[in-house]
Structure 1
């Protein structure tokens, strides 16, 4: 089936008989679709929708084949090299399964050793810039923590959150306020990490909760024109009603 997909992609990008849109795509133009498809995979998993998951995994696989086709056209690498590379990496990172080592030296220590061999030997190297900001903040913090640069417990980041709130209040202009809000969000992620909470997951759940409650109240007659107090009353009622129901 993978060969069939690569054949389809080759025809789509054929300079003569291919698709005009597919022929002109680049890594940069396709990257947003790749990210979107990864999120749609995550959505299907969250919904426990196996039919959707099967479909979305196919869409994500198409993105991989598409990038590899662009690379091959440029003479950079092929899909076979991509697959060979990940096969080599998985075997290298599991010597206790594929080698003679009895115990695993640890996934993270193996990854750290690989990073140390690259030109950028920073503990922060390889944390993708395109990650969601909350997720990237947590990864940066975890990487830094492995070097000992971390609070000993949750009290430190909690105090930092309070400090950053005060700095938001004291911000002199819009640029300073943006900067301080960023520091505040980073501090909240750090606090969440120390509490064992995945900030990205927590915010996703909060988004879903808000959406459920707002959808429940916006159907009230004349909702947009209602005074805020009336909207707050509807919101409180929706919270009570949904609290009595099983969670999604």
Structure 2
């Protein structure tokens, strides 16, 4: 009864959300869909909600961000509820684990170390602490612990960053650019062979090196690709608008016309950016 009262109490905060989650998973009175879920079936939703948070931030949609953060928080509560039911851990354990980690990784804030450090030194200290944590988890290899569930482009970036820490890296972006030319030629050769498996391999190699170039240039690959996606959507939307002004839709047009309108859209953006 106490939980039922809390569920219907406005401004109940996190305790209310936890009570709702328990009710949804109740094997006798809960929601059949929620009861059937597992860690594996919920994981894709967790990833999706994280991206929706990033999307709201990218668009500076601050009125939407609260709701998106709530959706992401609910994912954590959902996983923690399933873990508690299985006797693994609770949401409080999750919070305590994170609190312990943050205190340990910030000795210059919560310990005796001086705060008088550069951002670069703090980053090196952070990585040293993380390396010690990995050693404590029996992660002996340099690349151990880079999550398999990460988006492939982000995981490539992290793998290369780890390898660079132990000296396995090109000296500068110049060498990476040379490697991109080499991989591009190998992709051309694979295409000429019409071997789809070889094409897949060479295309992957090219993307992997492109991710490395981003690291050398100080560019986060996922962020760069998100920006490129947004630019493409914006410009193609303008192409559609220009076609509509002519009484047409894209399927009524052809590549030549749409390409010319694409150029117009680009020029309009340049003019707007210069004003």
Superposition TM-score, scaled by structure 2 size = 0.86
From 190, 200, 206, the equivalent of 1:178 is 200
* 1:242 correspondence with 2:269: yes
Provide the residue aligned with 1:81 in structure 2. Answer: 93
* 1:164 correspondence with 2:164: no
Aligned-partner Cα distance in 2 for 1:176–1:23: 44
From 75, 79, 82, the equivalent of 1:70 is 82
5+ long unaligned stretches in structure 2: 1-12, 116-121
Q: CA deviation at 1:246?
A: 4.3
Which SS does the other structure have where 2:256 is aligned? helix
From 200, 204, 216, the equivalent of 2:238 is 216
From 162, 170, 178, the equivalent of 1:143 is 162
User: Which stretches of structure 1, 4 residues or longer, exceed 3 Å deviation after superposition?
Assistant: none
From 190, 200, 223, the equivalent of 2:212 is 190
From 185, 201, 205, the equivalent of 2:223 is 201
Superposition TM-score, scaled by structure 1 size = 0.95
CA-atom RMSD in angstroms: 1.5
From 106, 112, 121, the equivalent of 2:131 is 112
- Structure ranking higher in helix proportion: 2
Stretch deviating more after TM superposition (229-238 or 118-127): 118-127
Aligned-partner Cα distance in 1 for 2:159–2:76: 26
Which SS does the other structure have where 2:170 is aligned? coil
Provide the residue aligned with 2:255 in structure 1. Answer: 228
Q: CA deviation at 1:38?
A: 0.5
How many pairs does the alignment contain? 247
Q: CA deviation at 1:225?
A: 3.3
Q: CA deviation at 1:227?
A: 3.1
5+ long unaligned stretches in structure 1: none
